[in-house]
Structure 1
């Protein structure tokens, strides 16, 4: 758990960073992956030491949108891969009897492969029926917190909210868990909100190639 993890845990209780327009550097939580996490009026950047604070300031970083400006992100990523800008949502684990099964056969699902590229210790879960390809990933994700992602199988009648609620049983009761959703993916955002998640910040990740 790093500094950002504690900040996100605080946000889950309603305690947010100061709205001061500032930005600050935080340690990277996964080798090779950098990112910006922006709250209301304050931003945090996890960037390698080869990008100095002066470099980041010169790119216009601030807590009022500057740290998430596409020009800043593109400059820091260089020729590297850039992920979508996502909404960060938080909830708490439900614990109890797990309502989903481990599904190692879903490891090659595109969403599981994406999770593996930016998170650690990715595990895949789903329903018992092997013709049901509804997927839940549970990882050590943003700032080292448990992070879940979902994708429903359109051939089966599971609502997104139902799947998210089941996914929360995979996390110990009361433990803060995060999820990231593209704001334009309204269906996914509604599913997480319906299962009790609350939006607290935005995040954008990249794998830099500044050489």
Structure 2
């Protein structure tokens, strides 16, 4: 049985699904959250229920009409993100729990779509790294540094966050392509792009 976690871990090792326009369907990894993911020429739909449109792995999976139909007229649709992977480095954690940053927007968003969320940072300052069980149940990282500290601080924060994940464990990060600051920081810290992802939630039934 194909699993999304397996596909992502394979991609982290450079083994990608065939780029033949195919696609597979897998169960959602979190109740209430669906997703459409794409690799080169291949797509994965983590959805429940019937599919409202034709799907293909040559870009059709990210047709805006598909995600709109899946989410429904009152559903929530996240941005279409670049999907990147790295591996935890383990060792003594370079960051500590920062419960005082628990209400940070990054943390609030993570709790809505991930499980086992941890809010991390240094002993002081406003740099925040958020780790949780996200896409496919894998460790997922998001982070933010104040605008005035950009220019290397983001890269250092990402590298420090990876020390909080066991050595060798796959870590994913989803970032909007327009968020160039975060994208540059992730790439500089060793993350590599493997595809794209878009989350959605249907509105609760009345």
Report the equivalent of 1:105: 100
Give 1:187 shift: 1.1
- The residue aligned with 1:121 is 116
CA deviations 1:13-52 (Å, max 9, x no partner) are 1000111101211010000000101000110001113x2x
Q: Does residue 134 of the first structure (1) align with residue 134 of the second (2)?
A: no
Separation in 2, partners of 1:183, 1:126: 24
Q: How does 1:35-50 map to 2 (within 5 A)?
A: 35-49=35-49
Aligned residue number for residue 6 of structure 1 = 6
Q: Provide the residue aligned with 1:199 in structure 2.
A: 193
* 2:76 alignment counterpart: 81
Detail structure 1 runs of 4+ shifted over 6 Å in the superposition: none
**Any gaps of 5 or more consecutive residues in structure 2?**
none
Structure 1: runs of 5+ lacking an equivalent: none
Residue 93, structure 1, aligned to residue 88, structure 2: yes
Q: How far 1:210 moved relative to its partner?
A: 8.1
Q: Structure 1 pair 210/74, CA: closer, same or farther in 2 (3 Å)?
A: farther
Equivalent residue for 2:145, pick from 139, 149, 152: 152
**Deviation string, structure 1 residues 107-126 (Cα, Å, up to 9, x no partner):** 11111000111111111000
- Residues of 1 paired with 2:17 and 2:155: CA distance? 29
Q: Taking structure 1 as reference, are residues 192 and 147 closer, same or farther at Cα in structure 2, changes over 3 Å only?
A: same
**Alpha-carbon spacing, 1:170–1:179, altered in 2? closer, same or farther (3 Å):** same
Deviations 1:91-150 (A, max 9, x none): 010100101110111111111000111111111000101xx1211000001100001100
Q: CA deviation at 1:155?
A: 5.4
TM-score, length-scaled by structure 1? 0.92
CA-CA distance at 1:153 after TM superposition: 2.7
- For residues 27 and 11 of structure 2, the distance between their equivalents in structure 1, rounded to whole angstroms, comes to 19
Structure 1 CA distance for aligned equivalents of residues 203 and 9 of structure 2: 31
Distance in 2 (CA, whole Å) between partners of 1:31 and 1:197 is 28
Output the TM-score relative to the length of structure 2.
0.94
TM superposition shift of 1:67 = 0.6
Aligned residues: CA RMSD: 1.5
Between 1:16-25 and 1:191-200, the stretch displaced more is 16-25
